[in-house]
Structure 1
Amino acid sequence: MHVLIVEDDRELASSLKTIIEDAIGVSDTFASLAEAEAVLMTHKFNLVVIDRRLPDGDGLSLLPLLRRLQPRPATLVLTALDDPYDIVSTLDKGADEYICKPFEPMELVARARAVLRRYSLDAIGSTQFGNLAFDLNHRLATVGQKALDIPRRELAILETLVRRAGRVVQRETLESAVYNLSEDIESNALDSHVSRLRRRLREADCEAAIKSVRGIGYMLVLE
């Protein structure tokens, strides 16, 4: 999962990033409409969280652009504007969810997951591949009945591979799931994460293994 957060309050943006990366996936934060529009034209996101009162205008002005994108990301408006007419108008304009500030982090995560399920991104809930099970809603991997303790980046790789088990996943897709746009990615960084993840799966007697596809990426296979 890759999430775009459009929020000009630095402290709140940092808090949102932490909440979302712990529960959903990697995220990027931008503080203006102009920055958001530019990044949306060049990168794909599964979910966009939008504040309304931005320095260069109303965050709702992003909605027409978001509706045109293919694939279209889910949208969640997060704002201090709590008038019922504002809420109805926002949903009528194409937003998928509306949350008023202040908010409870647990509610934000639950509503974000619900929006993603509506887009069928998490519709299956969990998946099984050999003796490896992955709970997509709670981002929990188990082998047999034992939960695996996997660092965040490796967990993002495993989640992306599980969603496409048996199919080749390109390096670019994995990097998008693991790193935000502001990070400098060393040429062998992804390979290092995959190597450590392979070892964890092997040590847990997992029947699923990560196979390298030279020059393209990786795929999850059964040994």
Structure 2
Amino acid sequence: MRLLLVEDDRMIGESVRAALRQDGFAVDWVRDGRAADETLQSERFDLVLLDLGLPQRDGLDVLRALRARQDATPVIVLTARDALEDRVAGLDAGADDYLVKPFELDELAARMRAVLRRHGGRADTAMECDSVRLDPATKQVTLRGEPVMLSAREIAVLEALMLRPGAILSRAQLEDRLYGWGDEIESNAVTVYIHQLRRKLGADFIKNVRGVGYYVGRPA
């Protein structure tokens, strides 16, 4: 899953990015509002973590511009602005959630899961397809009720596919969910992860449309 972190404080940005990458997220990071606005106009993300007090352009302006473009990408505001009127302004501008600094990374992760769950129209935290169940909160995967050990990258590929059952995702789309800017992308990485998932979850669980991409479940 690919995230955009918009944060001008280097210490906060580095700690949040490191923690999320350890959880298997692909995290891109910009440090001012103008860069955030330009990036959001040219690239697609699954979630945005947005500070408000930014150089170049205020985070609320970035958020309002995003919604004015009819872009429904989920946004969680991360800010030191804790006054009631600030929280109301952020939510009214289109934020999906609002978290005041300082915050615990565990709470941020839980709020991210909740926002993504609502955005995907799901009430349950876990996703199921055929005999495979994935709980993003715990990173636990089971096959017919039995636990299956997967790496963080394998879980990232599996989650991307299970979030949209029946939808075909290309190799490039899966790479976007695995790697952030500056990460070295191995040419056959997605193929390797798909092979490992098929070995652990069943050869027929992930289907392939030659020259197009991969999907789970019934084709859309």
How would you bin the TM-score normalised by the shorter chain?
0.7 to 0.9
Mapped partners of 2:204, 2:193: distance in 1 = 16
Once the two structures are TM-superposed, the CA of residue 124 in structure 1 deviates from its matched residue by: 4.6
Larger mean Cα displacement after TM superposition, 6-15 or 60-69: 60-69
Partner of 1:175: 175
**Greater mean alpha carbon deviation, residues 70-79 or residues 148-157:** 70-79
Residues 86 and 179 of structure 1, relative CA distance in 2, 3 Å threshold: same
For each residue in 1:40-83, what CA deviation from the matched residue of structure 2 results, as whole angstroms up to 9, or x when unmatched?
11211121111122222321111122213455111111111222
Q: Please tell me whether the aligned partners of residues 6 and 48 of structure 2 are also in contact (alpha carbons under 8 angstroms).
A: yes
Partner residue in 1 for 2:193:
193
User: Aligned letter for 1:120?
Assistant: G
Alpha-carbon offset, residue 142 of structure 1: 0.7
1:215 aligns with 2:216: no
Residue of structure 2 equivalent to 1:16: 16
C-alpha RMSD of the superposition: 2.4
Secondary structure of the corresponding residue to residue 211 of structure 1: strand
In structure 2, do the counterparts of structure 1 residues 127 and 103 end up closer, same or farther at CA, with 3 Å as the change threshold? closer
1:95 aligns to what? 95
Matched position secondary structure for 2:76: strand
TM-score normalized with structure 1 length: 0.84
Structure 2 unaligned regions, length at least 5: none
Per the alignment, residue 145 of structure 2 pairs with 145
**Which residue of the partner structure matches residue 156 of structure 1?**
156
- Residues of 2 paired with 1:151 and 1:81: CA distance? 37
| Alpha-carbon shift at residue 221 of structure 1 (Å) | 5.7
More strand by share: 1
- Per mean C-alpha deviation after superposition, the further-off stretch among 164-173 and 18-27 is 18-27
Detail structure 1 runs of 4+ shifted over 6 Å in the superposition.
none
1:107 is the counterpart of 2:103: no
Instruction: Specify whether residues 207 and 74 from structure 1 end up closer, same or farther in structure 2 by C-alpha distance, changes over 3 A only.
Output: same
Aligned-pair CA distance for 1:121: 5.4
* Shift in CA distance, 20/58, structure 1 to aligned 2, threshold 3 Å: same
User: Aligned with 1:111: secondary structure?
Assistant: helix
Contact conserved, 2:110 with 2:137, CA < 8 A, in 1?
no
TM-score (normalizing by structure 2): 0.86
Q: Which piece of structure 1 moves more, 141-150 or 112-121?
A: 112-121
How many angstroms apart in 1 are the aligned matches of 2:179 and 2:29?
13
The structure-2 alpha-carbon separation of the partners of 1:135 and 1:26, relative to structure 1 and needing over 3 Å to count, comes to same
Helix, strand or coil at the partner of 1:150: coil
Given that residues 139 and 159 in structure 1 are in contact (C-alpha distance below 8 angstroms), is that contact kept between their aligned partners in structure 2?
Answer: no
For residue 32 of structure 1, report the CA deviation from its aligned partner.
1.2
Question: What whole-Å deviation, never above 9, does each CA across 1:15-38 have from its counterpart, x for those lacking one?
Answer: 212333455832211111122122
Q: Which residue matches 1:60?
A: 60
Counterpart-to-counterpart distance in 2, 1:127 and 1:94: 27
Distance in 2 of aligned mates of 1:49 and 1:43: 15
- Structure 1: runs of 5+ lacking an equivalent: none
Q: Which moved more, 1:139-148 or 1:18-27?
A: 18-27
